[in-house]
Amino acid sequence: MDLHSKVVGVTRQNHDGSDRQEIARGCRGGERLTLRREPDNPQDANAVAVFRANGEQVGYLSAGVAEQLAPLLDAGAPVTAEVSEVTGGTPDKPTYGVNIRIHDDNAPAAGAAPAVPPATPGRGSAGGGPADPKPRRPAPAPHARRGCLLCVAGLIGGLLTGMVLLAGAVRAAGQ
């Protein structure tokens, strides 16, 4: 898996009072980040916080990305993250943003399609960061798709069973 995302919540204050905008302003392209699960987070049981190496919290992964990554992080998968681009800080866009690249080192090697297509090089930072200002919603994790298929199969089976029982009841009432 190799995907690009924005860090959310970068305009909020951290619990320790530190300003995430100041923290985001200090981030640099290529900087390694730490993704830390917060399973007890009251807002989202899949919450994943994003930290700099010095321990400063930049923000969180979006709910959609966190939902996909939480099981991997919980299982101890070697997921790495790095800053791909810091946006904003200009007169017309004073608010800073942080775009990141997330990679699962256990993902299938070359030739496998990424969960979210990489951005077009050349439109972002000098390092060829993400081109889209809006992150794409990641594809559901394979186990989530399997769960959906099992639910659909169960519903169809339940409907068929109900129809058979109803047909038997109608037949019995007609005799």
Query: For residue 155, what pLDDT is reported?
Result: 55
Burial class (CB in 10 A: 0-12, 13-18, 19+), 118: middle
What are the Cα distances from residue 113, in Å, to 109, 117, 120, 133, 175?
10, 8, 15, 22, 60
Burial class (CB in 10 A: 0-12, 13-18, 19+), 44: middle
Residues 119 and 132: beta-carbon distance below 8 Å? yes
The rounded percent of the chain whose pLDDT value lies above 70 is: 63
17 band by pLDDT with thresholds 50, 70 and 90: very high
Q: Which pair of tokens denotes residue 117? A: 């297509």
Residue range 154-169, pLDDT digits in tens: 556 566 565 666 666 6
Residues 4 and 119: beta-carbon distance below 8 Å? yes
Q: Which pair of tokens denotes residue 55? A: 């321990």
**Widest CA span of the chain, in angstroms?**
83
Residue range 80-136, pLDDT digits in tens: 999 999 999 999 999 999 999 999 877 655 444 444 433 333 333 333 334 444 444
Question: What is the tally of helices (H) and strands (E) in the chain?
Answer: 3, 6
* Residue carrying structure tokens 């994003």: 50
Query: For residue 104, what pLDDT is reported?
Result: 84
171 band by pLDDT with thresholds 50, 70 and 90: confident
Residues 32 and 81: beta-carbon distance below 8 Å? yes
The C-alpha atoms of residue 170 and residue 165 are separated, in whole angstroms, by 9
* Phi and psi, residue 100, nearest 5°: -130, 160
* Phi and psi, residue 50, nearest 5°: -115, 125
The whole model's pTM is what? 0.61
Query: For residue 174, what pLDDT is reported?
Result: 73
39: pLDDT strictly greater than 90: yes
